[in-house]
Amino acid sequence: MRLLLVDDNPDALMSLGMLLELEGHDVTTANNGSDAIRLVAQVRPEVAIIDVGMPDVDGFDVARAVRSDRSLDDIILVALTGYAAESDKSRALAAGFDYHLTKPLSLEKLRHLLVNRRGGQLGGLI
């Protein structure tokens, strides 16, 4: 599957990217929101996993930019954040994210999401 991984932490970006590649995914990475917006349109990933807490253009702005382009509606957006309160989840979904995952990332939850991302089997909060 084509994935876009966005995080301003270079170690987190590299390690998760390598894990996902080892699982057979085609992974493109970006370390900031501006590049993420450009790459979503270029690469057209099936799923974009986006850290919300980035400087300059944060993940919420990335999600809003992607959702403002109707031609990108088929891309699944996953918020990745250290904030797990219900208000944080609601804010992510309101910005246009389809799912909300918290750090530290559970690879089991991510795998489950990737396998079951279509067909309404998941309800946005996992």
**First vs last C-alpha separation in the chain:** 20
What is the average pLDDT across 95-115?
A: 91
pLDDT tens-digit series, residues 2-56: 999 999 999 999 999 999 999 999 999 999 999 999 999 999 999 999 999 999 9
Structure confidence at residue 118 (pLDDT):
61
Structure confidence at residue 85 (pLDDT):
80
77 near 98, Cβ under 8 Å?
Answer: yes
DSSP string, 60-71: HHHHHHHHT-GG
How many C-beta atoms lie closer than 10 Å to residue 24's C-beta?
A: 7
Nearest to 33 by CA among 75, 2, 61, 5: 61
Q: Please state at what angle helix 59-67 crosses helix 33-43, rounded to 10 degrees.
A: 30
| CATH architecture for the domain at 2-115 | 3-Layer(aba) Sandwich (3.40)
Q: What is the pTM of this model?
A: 0.90
